[in-house]
Structure 1
Amino acid sequence: MAEMTTAPTETHTVPSEYGDYHNWSELFHLLNHTYTYCEFSLDENIKRVILFILYLVIFVVGLVENLLVIWVNWQTRGNKSLVNLYIINMAIADLGVMLSLPIWMLEAMLDYTWLWGSFLCRFTHYFYFANMYASIFFLTCLSVDRYVSLTSSSLFWRRHQHRVRRAACACSWVLAASIPFLEVVHMQLVNTGEPICIFMAPFETYDEWALAVSLATTTIGFLVPFPVIAVFNVLTARFLRRTKPESRRHCLLIYAYIVVFLLSWLPFHVVLTLLTLDGNHIILNCTFARFLYFFYDIIDCFTMLHCVVNPVLYNFLSKNFRSKLISAVVKYIPKDHGAPKGAGNSSSTTQHSIVISKENNPPN
């Protein structure tokens, strides 16, 4: 995960003559004791327990939610609406992030000892970052598409909107699959007494690589998509309030999209940038730097909450989605074969139709 890029930024007290250290163990022993003179006494064991609980809750809830979203939208895959196309792709990306969590959870509990070999060291990080970027890109495309669909009267858009959406999804996956190579190419399995999987660019250009990766992550994952998401969601909310004054609830939900994205990602990118710049570009207070390093993993973990909140905001709060969920579930409800032929099935079908009808036609 992204925390791997920050560990060696503690080297601002390390001599520049890396050649004096002839093996990895000596170097990492030095890095681990860089801040030993700081007065800082938070319990690492408590941190590991908190991380394990957070990972476990996010994994279980996010896995169930995103599987439901994919399943329900797959049942209605003939519907080519923007919601069905972008939402199912975003859910697949969020599910990919969730599937990487068991390894991060075990790694945290093992004090970052990596037991799964060199290939998984690189592939797991690649898989996580590719799906993380894809989720953000689909969220950005959805925000733009929603506004364009509401406001555009272009005949070209009406005729070609489905092609544009398919192309946008394809480009999002290609871009998300390409970006992680910048970091993953330097992920290495290093033996420091115990094997660890860590970002390890060449010593002589390490600072440049770490800064490049950090700035690329922040720019591509936050600085570019967030303004787009914020601007187009605000424009959408203003359009709805102007054309449908009774849509206050929908406007609040749209603003929630912006707030959730901001709260999920801003703390992470601020801390990542500060830790990357610390030493060679800025000098942080020693205790403050240690504080940031200690809580970095927890802040990183909280970014995954967007994979849990996205299905709620974009699916479960929608009456249309709940209606589709009920319809999909009804197909698998066993009929009462013990009743007289036709009677039980008729009753069951009628009851189910009533439920679905209520969902599709809510009272005003």
Structure 2
Amino acid sequence: MTYAKAFIVSVYCLVFIVGTFGNAIVIIIMRSKRKSNRLVDVFITHLAIADLVFLLTLPLWAVSTALDHHWLFGEGLCKMCSYIVVVNMYSGIFFLTCMSIDRYVAIVLSVKYGYLRSRRCAVITSLVIWTLSLALGLPTLSFRHMVQVDDNGKWVCSEVNMPSRNIFALVTSFIAFVLPLGIITVCYCSVGIKLYRHFDRIRKEERKKRKSIKIGFWIVTMFILSWLPYNVLKTTDVFVQSSTFQASCDTQESVSKGILLFTCLAFVNSCVNPIVYLVFDRYFRKSLFQLLPCQAAKRLKAHCSTSLSDSIRSQRRNSSFYKEKETTFTAAKISS
């Protein structure tokens, strides 16, 4: 195994460990905030679910990469794992778009369209996003196959090159990446302009909104940095494979290697969001520390010491009471 493949496999293993633990913690903490009315919490929960489901497939991709992309797990898992990857990408960008729209409505259109930020609306929006993401991913089940690449029995999980696949790739790239990216940019630019104009009059509630905007901004930035290079190279690969322009063998090889590298970068995004919450969200940090075993032990110890102190105080009060009663009885006996 070359150094590059060893590095990618190591990254996959690290992403799987950190991402699985981190996103599970995010879901637990968000579920504990049932009384919270923040719509962004609904979208954060669904983002974590999407990443967690994808991370379950990551060990299979790590094994395949370690074996020079030889796929051992059959065509069914080849299709399903590829399907989960694209659904994760689509749902991720759609939920981030909804988060940016939510911030735009909350700050720029706070009075006019506040009804759009109801929890019921957020749940319906989440269901629509999942339905759309699952539907957009369906063609992947048709395009992905196990392909034999040599006479030594090496099979890879790859997309079959056909005109319909190329057209679909370009259309979905626009619908599920370029268009949402434009909406996110417009929303956050508008929010930034509004906050800048009213910076001196920001109230305490608005400062809380600024913190959530900062979290959303970093989540979006990490998503773009992770997935933009992959989408650019995938679009380039579509034109190369469709012979739209003549590309040399070196160019085709460079594009293929670039896709492998930037696929790794895209997969890293699944463990980034919990780290962003840990750095910028005080409530998340506090809840995480409360969930840690050492913190649980401290709470148990504090509870035991409190109970012991209460018991000692109770015993002292009882002892003082009986001593006082005995003194009173002795004094009464002497006087009689």
TM-score bracket, shorter-length normalisation: 0.7 to 0.9
* 1:218 correspondence with 2:188: no
Secondary structure of residue in 2 paired with 1:341: helix
CA gap of 1:130–1:254, structure 2 versus 1, over 3 A, is closer
The aligned residue for residue 154 of structure 2 is 194
Secondary structure of residue in 1 paired with 2:57: helix
The aligned residue for residue 352 of structure 1 is none
Distance in 2 of aligned mates of 1:159 and 1:51: 43
Q: Given the alignment, which residue of 131, 149, 156 partners 2:106?
A: 149
CA gap of 1:176–1:254, structure 2 versus 1, over 3 A, is closer
CA gap of 1:343–1:180, structure 2 versus 1, over 3 A, is same
How far 1:106 moved relative to its partner?
0.6
The aligned residue for residue 321 of structure 2 is none
Matches within 5 A, 1:140-179: 140-154=97-111, 157-158=114-115, 161-179=118-136
* 1:107 correspondence with 2:67: no
CA gap of 1:225–1:328, structure 2 versus 1, over 3 A, is same
Distance in 2 of aligned mates of 1:97 and 1:189: 20
CA gap of 1:278–1:165, structure 2 versus 1, over 3 A, is same
Secondary structure of residue in 2 paired with 1:197: strand
Distance in 1 of aligned mates of 2:247 and 2:147: 28
How far 1:191 moved relative to its partner?
4.2
Question: Would you say the 8 A contact 1:61–1:308 is kept in 2?
Answer: yes
CA gap of 1:159–1:123, structure 2 versus 1, over 3 A, is closer
The aligned residue for residue 331 of structure 2 is none
Distance in 2 of aligned mates of 1:133 and 1:50: 27
- Runs of at least 5 residues in structure 1 that lack an aligned partner in the other structure: 1-43, 346-364
The aligned residue for residue 300 of structure 2 is 335
The aligned residue for residue 74 of structure 1 is 31
The aligned residue for residue 357 of structure 1 is none
How far 1:190 moved relative to its partner?
3.6
Q: Normalization by structure 2: what TM-score?
A: 0.78
The aligned residue for residue 271 of structure 1 is 233
- Which has the larger displacement, 276-285 or 106-115? 276-285
CA gap of 1:86–1:288, structure 2 versus 1, over 3 A, is same
Code of the residue aligned with 2:231 in structure 1: it is: H
Per-residue CA distance 1:46-96 (angstroms, 9 max, x = gap): 221121122122222222221111111111223231122111111111112
Distance in 1 of aligned mates of 2:66 and 2:267: 18
Code of the residue aligned with 2:107 in structure 1: it is: L
CA gap of 1:283–1:344, structure 2 versus 1, over 3 A, is farther
Code of the residue aligned with 2:130 in structure 1: it is: W
Q: Given the alignment, which residue of 169, 193, 211 partners 1:238?
A: 193
Paired residues in the alignment total 297
Distance in 2 of aligned mates of 1:110 and 1:139: 35
Code of the residue aligned with 1:48 in structure 2: it is: K
Q: CA RMSD in A?
A: 2.9
Structure (1 or 2) with the larger CA radius of gyration:
2
Distance in 1 of aligned mates of 2:239 and 2:227: 18
Matches within 5 A, 1:1-364: 45-154=2-111, 157-158=114-115, 161-192=118-149, 193-200=153-160, 206=162, 208-245=163-200, 250=211, 255-278=217-240, 280-314=243-277, 316-327=279-290, 332-333=296-297, 334-336=299-301, 339=305, 341-343=307-309
CA gap of 1:50–1:159, structure 2 versus 1, over 3 A, is closer
Secondary structure of residue in 2 paired with 1:281: coil
Secondary structure of residue in 1 paired with 2:158: strand
How far 1:288 moved relative to its partner?
2.9
Aligned identity (percent) is 26
Question: Would you say the 8 A contact 1:183–1:213 is kept in 2?
Answer: no
Secondary structure of residue in 2 paired with 1:189: strand
Question: Would you say the 8 A contact 1:233–1:254 is kept in 2?
Answer: no
Distance in 1 of aligned mates of 2:62 and 2:68: 10
Q: Normalization by structure 1: what TM-score?
A: 0.72
The aligned residue for residue 12 of structure 1 is none
Distance in 2 of aligned mates of 1:197 and 1:159: 43
Distance in 1 of aligned mates of 2:52 and 2:97: 18
Distance in 1 of aligned mates of 2:190 and 2:232: 27
Distance in 1 of aligned mates of 2:283 and 2:176: 30
Distance in 2 of aligned mates of 1:211 and 1:344: 73
